């Protein structure tokens, strides 16, 4: 008789467990159609040919939006708001738009390597009054840790090479910038 009373409870439990979504059915970071959003926060430096190899400090905020168009392959756009200063050269501010492509490499369930390459189109001004129109390319190699479902925190190096820097009076020397960036990304 006790078995007959527990049968409906067992059936109810089986139905609830069977209808609950399994972890394997949930989309994973990098699946086709996944939308990633977030941004990078950075502090870095650069060594350039301008101003006698003066070392500059850069502070930047880089909001971004990416969509995975195929498994692990992302296309996106980032933007940059940046401020730079140095001891012996003018400070500068910069705004850019950067279309980019990336490829997510899962490293187990908690980590992913998500390298991205972008082409950066920027406009900047410096405290000396010069206006810059800059074309550059950036390689960013973050290691992302999934700290919560649909939330990752990553850190990695970024290397930017200016291809063209047009200023009001002609062309400025190109610079190479190395940074260590921290990113926070959500995904749906």
Q: Are 65 and 98 in contact (CB under 8 A)?
A: no
**127-159 as b/e: b if 16+ CB within 10 A:** eeeeebebebebebbbbbebeeeeebbbebebe
Q: Tens digit of pLDDT for each residue in 13-59?
A: 444 434 444 455 677 889 999 999 998 766 666 655 555 556 777 78
Q: What is the mean pLDDT of the chain?
A: 81
Q: How far apart are CA 158 and CA 151, in angstroms?
A: 21
The rounded radius of gyration (Å) of the Cα atoms in the chain is 23
In the structure encoding, which two tokens stand for residue 135, read together? 């074309």
Query: What would the CATH number be for the domain defined by 27-187?
Result: 2.40.160.20
Low-confidence ranges of the chain (pLDDT < 70): 1-25, 41-54
Domain residues of the chain, as ranges?
27-187
Note the pTM of the prediction, 2 decimals: 0.72
């Amino acid at each position: 008789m006790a078995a007959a009373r527990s049968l409906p409870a067992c059936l109810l439990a089986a139905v609830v467990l069977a209808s609950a979504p399994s972890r394997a059915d949930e989309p994973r970071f990098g699946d086709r159609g996944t939308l990633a959003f977030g941004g990078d926060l950075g502090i870095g430096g650069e060594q350039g040919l301008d101003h006698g190899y003066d070392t500059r400090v850069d502070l930047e905020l880089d909001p971004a939006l990416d969509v995975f168009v195929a498994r692990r392959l992302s296309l996106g756009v980032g933007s940059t708001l940046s401020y730079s200063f140095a001891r012996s050269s003018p400070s500068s501010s910069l705004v850019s738009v950067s279309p980019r492509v990336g490829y997510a490499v899962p490293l187990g369930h908690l980590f992913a390597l998500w390298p991205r390459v972008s082409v950066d189109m920027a406009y900047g001004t410096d405290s000396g009054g010069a206006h810059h129109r800059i074309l550059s390319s950036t390689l960013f190699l973050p290691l992302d840790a999934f700290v919560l479902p649909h939330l990752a925190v990553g850190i990695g190096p970024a290397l930017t090479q200016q291809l063209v820097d047009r200023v009001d009076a002609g062309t400025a020397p190109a610079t190479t910038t190395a940074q260590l960036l921290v990113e926070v990304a959500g995904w749906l």
